[in-house]
Amino acid sequence: MSKCTVVLAYSGGLDTSCILAWLKEEGYDVITYLANIGQDEDFESARKKAETLGATKVFIEDLRAEFVQDFIWPAVQANAVYEDRYLLGTAIARPCIAQRQVEIARQEGAQFVSHGATGKGNDQIRFELTCYALYPEVIAPWRIPKFYNRFRGRTDLMEYAQCHAPGDLYLMTKNPEDSPNARDLLEIEFKKGVPIKVTNMNEGKSVDSPLDIFSYLNEIGGKHGVGRIDIVENRFIGMKSRGIYETPGGTILLQAHLDIETFTMDKEVRKIKQGLGVKFSELVYNGFWYSPECDFVRQCIAKSQENVEGKVQLSVFKGQVYILGRESPKSLYNEELVSMDVQGDYDPCDASGFIRVNAVRLREHHRLQGFFNTKQ
Amino acid sequence: MSKCTVVLAYSGGLDTSCILAWLKEEGYDVITYLANIGQDEDFESARKKAETLGATKVFIEDLRAEFVQDFIWPAVQANAVYEDRYLLGTAIARPCIAQRQVEIARQEGAQFVSHGATGKGNDQIRFELTCYALYPEVIAPWRIPKFYNRFRGRTDLMEYAQCHAPGDLYLMTKNPEDSPNARDLLEIEFKKGVPIKVTNMNEGKSVDSPLDIFSYLNEIGGKHGVGRIDIVENRFIGMKSRGIYETPGGTILLQAHLDIETFTMDKEVRKIKQGLGVKFSELVYNGFWYSPECDFVRQCIAKSQENVEGKVQLSVFKGQVYILGRESPKSLYNEELVSMDVQGDYDPCDASGFIRVNAVRLREHHRLQGFFNTKQ
Amino acid sequence: MSKCTVVLAYSGGLDTSCILAWLKEEGYDVITYLANIGQDEDFESARKKAETLGATKVFIEDLRAEFVQDFIWPAVQANAVYEDRYLLGTAIARPCIAQRQVEIARQEGAQFVSHGATGKGNDQIRFELTCYALYPEVIAPWRIPKFYNRFRGRTDLMEYAQCHAPGDLYLMTKNPEDSPNARDLLEIEFKKGVPIKVTNMNEGKSVDSPLDIFSYLNEIGGKHGVGRIDIVENRFIGMKSRGIYETPGGTILLQAHLDIETFTMDKEVRKIKQGLGVKFSELVYNGFWYSPECDFVRQCIAKSQENVEGKVQLSVFKGQVYILGRESPKSLYNEELVSMDVQGDYDPCDASGFIRVNAVRLREHHRLQGFFNTKQ
Amino acid sequence: MSKCTVVLAYSGGLDTSCILAWLKEEGYDVITYLANIGQDEDFESARKKAETLGATKVFIEDLRAEFVQDFIWPAVQANAVYEDRYLLGTAIARPCIAQRQVEIARQEGAQFVSHGATGKGNDQIRFELTCYALYPEVIAPWRIPKFYNRFRGRTDLMEYAQCHAPGDLYLMTKNPEDSPNARDLLEIEFKKGVPIKVTNMNEGKSVDSPLDIFSYLNEIGGKHGVGRIDIVENRFIGMKSRGIYETPGGTILLQAHLDIETFTMDKEVRKIKQGLGVKFSELVYNGFWYSPECDFVRQCIAKSQENVEGKVQLSVFKGQVYILGRESPKSLYNEELVSMDVQGDYDPCDASGFIRVNAVRLREHHRLQGFFNTKQ
Q: What is the pLDDT of residue A155?
A: 57
CB B240 to CB A267 under 8 A? yes
Query: B308-344 pLDDT, tens per residue?
Result: 999 999 999 999 999 999 999 999 888 777 776 666 6
CA distance B170 to D90: 52
User: Min CA distance, B6 vs chain D (Å)?
Assistant: 28
- Contact indicator for D330, D309 with CB cutoff of 8 Å: yes
Q: Do C134 and D366 touch (CB under 8 A)?
A: yes
Interface test with B, best of C129, C296, C299, C354 (most B CBs within 10 A): C296
For position D339, what pLDDT does the model report? Answer: 73
CA gap B279, B296 in Å, rounded: 11
Taking CB atoms and an 8 Å cutoff, what residues of chain B touch C362? 238
Q: Which residue of C338, C359, C361 is in closest CB contact with D240? A: C338
Query: Which residue in D266, D350, D356 is closest to B365 by CB distance?
Result: D266
Give per-residue pLDDT as tens, A11-63: 998 889 999 999 999 999 999 999 999 998 899 999 999 999 999 999 999 99
- The sign of the CA dihedral B219, B220, B223, B226 is negative
Per the CB < 8 Å rule, is C237 touching B360? yes
Supply the Cα-derived Rg of chain C in whole angstroms.
25
Q: Do A303 and D304 touch (CB under 8 A)?
A: no
- Write out chain D residues lying below 8 Å of A288, CB-based: 268
Coil, helix or strand for A209? coil
pLDDT 10s digits, D132-173: 887 778 888 888 888 888 776 555 545 544 544 744 578 899
d(CA D25, CA D14) in angstroms, rounded, equals 16
pLDDT at A184: 97
Closest CB to D291: pick one of A268, A275, A288. Answer: A268
pLDDT of residue C164: 44
Give the separation between CA D108 and CA D30, rounded to whole angstroms. 11
Minimum-distance CB partner of C354 among A347, A357, A365: A357
CB B309 within 8 A of CB B330: yes
Cβ distance of C133 and D363 shorter than 8 Å: yes
- Pick from A148, A323, A372: CB nearest B230: A323
For residue A373, pLDDT over 50 is answered with no
Cβ <8 Å between C238 and B358? yes
- Contact across the interface for B357 and C292, Cβ inside 8 Å: no
Is the pLDDT score of A138 beyond 70?
Answer: yes
**Residues of chain C found within 8 Å of residue B360, distances taken between Cβ atoms:** 237-239
pLDDT at C156: 53
pLDDT at C181: 95
Q: Which residues of C touch A266 (CB under 8 A)?
A: 361, 365
Asked if C303's CB is within 8 angstroms of B299's CB, the reply is yes
Instruction: Give the chain C residue whose CA is nearest to the CA of B359.
Output: C238
Distance CA D277, CA D257 (A): 13
CA distance A331 to chain C (A): 9
Cβ distance A303 to D300 less than 8 Å, yes or no, reads yes
- For residue B324, the tally of other CB atoms under 10 A from its CB is 14
Q: How far is C292 from chain B (nearest CA, A)?
A: 7
Average pLDDT, chain D: 90
**Angle at the Cα of A74 from the Cα atoms of A70 and A76, rounded to 5 degrees:** 125
Total residue length of chain A:
376
Residue C148: its pLDDT value, please?
A: 81
Please give the order of strands across the beta sheet that includes D310-317. D206-207, D194-200, D184-191, D310-317, D320-327
Report CB contact under 8 Å: C356, A347.
yes
Residues of chain B below pLDDT 70: 1-2, 152-164, 166-168, 340-344, 370-376
Percent of chain A with pLDDT over 90: 76
Lowest model confidence (mean pLDDT) among A103-107, A160-164, B203-207, C215-219? A160-164
Do B291 and A349 make contact, defined as CB atoms within 8 angstroms? no
Residue D42 vs residues D11, D12, D16, D34: alpha-carbon distances, Å: 10, 9, 15, 11
Query: Is the pLDDT reported for residue D59 higher than 60?
Result: yes
Reported residue count of chain C is: 376
> 3-state DSSP call for residue B328?
coil
Chain C residues with beta carbon closer than 8 angstroms to that of A234: none
Over residues D39-65, the mean pLDDT reads 95
Share of chain D above pLDDT 70, in %: 92
* Chains touching D (3+ CB pairs < 8 Å): A, B, C
Rounded mean pLDDT of chain C? 90
Best A122, A237, A272, A352 member to test D by mutation, with max D CBs in 10 Å, is A272
Kindly indicate the confidence band of residue D200, based on its pLDDT and cuts at 50, 70 and 90.
Answer: very high
Residue D164: Cβ-neighbour burial (10 angstroms; 0-12, 13-18, 19+): exposed
Asked if B272 lies within 8 A of C297 by C-beta distance, the reply is yes
CA–CA separation, B344 and B338 (whole Å)? 8
Q: Percentage of residues in chain C with pLDDT exceeding 90? A: 76
pLDDT digits (tens, 9 = 90+) for A262-276: 999 999 999 999 999
For residue C67, the surrounding DSSP H or E stretch is: none
* Chain C positions in Cβ-Cβ contact with residue B299 (cut-off 8 Å): 300, 303
- Nearest CB partner across the interface for D333, out of C229, C240, C292: C240
A neighbour chains, 3+ CB pairs within 8 Å: B, C, D
pLDDT, tens digit, 9 for 90 and up, residues D70-113: 999 999 999 999 999 999 999 999 999 999 999 999 999 999 99
CB pairs B-D closer than 8 Å: 61
Taking contacts as CB-CB distances below 8 angstroms, the residues of chain D near A232 are: none
Share of chain A above pLDDT 70, in %: 92
Q: Are strands B310-317 and B320-327 parallel, antiparallel or unpaired?
A: antiparallel
Which residue among A129, A142, A326 places its CB closest to the CB of B359?
A129
D351 contacts in chain B (CB < 8 Å): 353, 357
First to last CA, chain A: 89
User: Which pLDDT band holds residue D375 (cuts at 50, 70, 90)?
Assistant: very low
pLDDT of D316 higher than 80: yes
How far, in Å, CA of C75 to CA of C194, rounded?
10
- pLDDT range class, residue D372, cuts 50, 70, 90: very low
Task: Give the separation between CA A246 and CA B61, rounded to whole angstroms.
Answer: 47
The answer to whether the Cβ–Cβ distance between D364 and A238 falls below 8 Å is: yes
Out of D268, D354, D363, whose CB is closest to B353? D354
Nearest to D332 among B349, B353, B364 (CB): B364
Concatenating the DSSP letter of every residue in A151-172 gives HHHHHHHHHHHHHS-GGGT-SS
Position A113 confidence tier, pLDDT thresholds 50, 70, 90: very high
pLDDT beyond 70 at A10: yes
Cβ atoms within 10 A of the Cβ of B157, count?
A: 12
**Averaged pLDDT for residues D11-28:** 91
CB contact under 8 A, D240 and C334: yes
- Cβ-Cβ contacts under 8 Å, C337 against chain D: 120, 239
Residue type, D133: A
CB contact under 8 A, C354 and A354: yes
Contact check, Cβ <8 Å, D234/C262: yes
Q: Do the chains contact at C354 and A349, CB–CB below 8 Å?
A: no
pLDDT tens-digit map of C105-137: 999 999 999 999 988 899 999 999 999 887 778
Q: What domains lie within chain A, and their CATH numbers?
A: 5-164 (3.40.50.620), 176-265+307-327 (3.90.1260.10)
Confidence band of D374 (pLDDT split at 50, 70, 90): very low
Question: Is-contact C193 C298, C-beta < 8 A?
Answer: no
Q: Using CB atoms, which residue from D237, D276, D292 is nearest to A268?
A: D292
Among the partner-chain residues C266, C268, C353, the one whose CB lies closest to the CB of A350 is C353
Range with lowest mean pLDDT among A4-8, B256-260, D230-234, D346-350: D346-350
B357–D353 CB contact, under 8 Å: yes
Q: Could you give the C-alpha distances from C271 to B296, C365, D155, in angstroms and in order?
A: 11, 27, 33
Please indicate whether residue C287 or residue C349 has the higher confidence score (pLDDT): C287
By C-alpha distance, the chain C residue nearest A358 is C354
CB contact under 8 A, D238 and A293: no
**Secondary structure class of B20 (helix, strand, coil):** helix
Cα nearest neighbour of C318 on chain D: D318
pLDDT value at C2 more than 80:
no
- The pLDDT tens digits of the residues spanning C34-79 come to 999 999 889 999 999 999 999 999 999 999 999 999 999 999 999 9
> DSSP letter at A70?
I
Q: What is the pLDDT of residue D366?
A: 83
Mean pLDDT of chain A: 90
pLDDT at B371: 45
pLDDT tens digits for A296-324? 999 999 999 999 999 999 999 999 999 99
For helices B248-264 and B210-223, angle between their N-to-C axes, nearest 10 degrees? 110
B230 has which bridge partners?
A: B244
Predicted local distance difference test score (pLDDT) of residue C375: 42
Residue A372: predicted pLDDT: 43
